Amino acid sequence: MHMADALISPAVGGTMWIVTAGLMAGCARKVKQTRDDRLVPMMGVLGAFIFTAQMINFSIPATGSSGHLGGGLILTILLGPNAAFLVIASVLTIQSLFFADGGLLALGCNIFNLGFFPSFIAYPLFYKLIAGEVRVGTRAWLAAMVAGIIGLQLGAFGVVLETKMSGISELPFKTFVLIMQPIHLAIGIVEGLTTAAVVAFIARARPEALAIGTVSETLPQGRSLRPVLIGLLVAAAFLGGAASWFASTHPDGLEWSITKITGKEEFVGANDGLHEEMTAVQAKTAFLPDYEFKAVPEKNTSAKSAAPPPAPWPAIKTGKSLSGIVGGILTLALAILIGFALKTHTKVA
């Protein structure tokens, strides 16, 4: 559900950048009030875990489409809404800047769609209401399923609404909604199941890890979270370094929806100065575009080029593994840097 710049007008993209920046500033203020020193390492490790988990696209049966974990709900349950929003922003920023996954102009939209709805709508209004303080068992699984679906449905509708408001594509609003929402319903079910499984595992291994998002000054530190941190880092390394080979080659829900409407595999939107500038910047910063090594331009070009061969599966490629490892490290570093910056500022103040 990473939007490309082609869908977004400068006005909508700029507005969503401002909205997202405002939300991040508010979240930063809240995170500074958190007194648990374990929050910062958890932010970094979970950021790396979500980055690599998002590389694993899973096929949606009988559709020719695929989806991937959003991760916003997992982050919110484990870190609290404010830290979770900052971490998902870190993940999406690294993806856009260095891997050309999602446009730079559309970055504010992507952070809002994948971060705001699970953190500030699905979690407090649905997950907490159903699960209460329970993190394992039937209630927790039901809560994760409902919240996961609601978060993805709202995020998908946000994509459609932002595209419509931009007015630079010919995607009909009603048709776009009717195709986007059902495919993201299926993705939301997987999101809910994955969220429930990850949270249940951590709840059994280190239940005190679920309290680190609180702003309480008297929060007991409890046992060390080192086993959880190491376990998540190992999982991130495995997901990015090896499991990413087995990601589905089908287009994701957004790309699939656009293809269904337009009949074209690639969507071409506006080509104004700002879009061109953003594309040029991203071409320079993205050293592993689409999680692969940059393609070397062919010297021999013929008038009739042969159709590219179908993508191999599994895609056992060094570039993909390197992307997973490097992206996870960069996200880990950025999330920890943000956390330490906020904590340092608090102590100085």
Domains and CATH numbers, the chain: 5-288+320-348 (1.10.1760.20)
Contact assessment for residue 209 and residue 202, using Cβ atoms and an 8 Å cutoff: yes
Sequence-distant (6+) residues with CB within 8 A of 217 are: 35
Residue 218: the pLDDT is 40
pTM of the shown model: 0.92
| Nearest Cα to Cα of residue 191 among 333, 60, 83, 292 | 60
For range 165-192, the mean pLDDT: 94
Q: Is the pLDDT of residue 258 over 80?
A: yes
| Nearest Cα to Cα of residue 127 among 109, 139, 111 | 139
What band does 99 get if pLDDT is binned at 50, 70 and 90? very high
Residue 215: the pLDDT is 45
Sequence-distant (6+) residues with CB within 8 A of 22 are: none
Q: Is the pLDDT of residue 49 over 50?
A: yes
Please report, to the nearest 10 degrees, the dihedral formed by the alpha carbons of residues 299, 300, 305, 308 taken in order: -50
pLDDT digits (tens, 9 = 90+) for 180-200: 999 999 999 999 999 999 999
* Mean of the per-residue pLDDT values of the chain: 89
Sequence-distant (6+) residues with CB within 8 A of 4 are: 102, 103, 106, 267, 269
Q: Is the pLDDT of residue 107 over 80?
A: yes
For range 93-115, the mean pLDDT: 97
Residue 240: the pLDDT is 95
Contact assessment for residue 314 and residue 245, using Cβ atoms and an 8 Å cutoff: yes
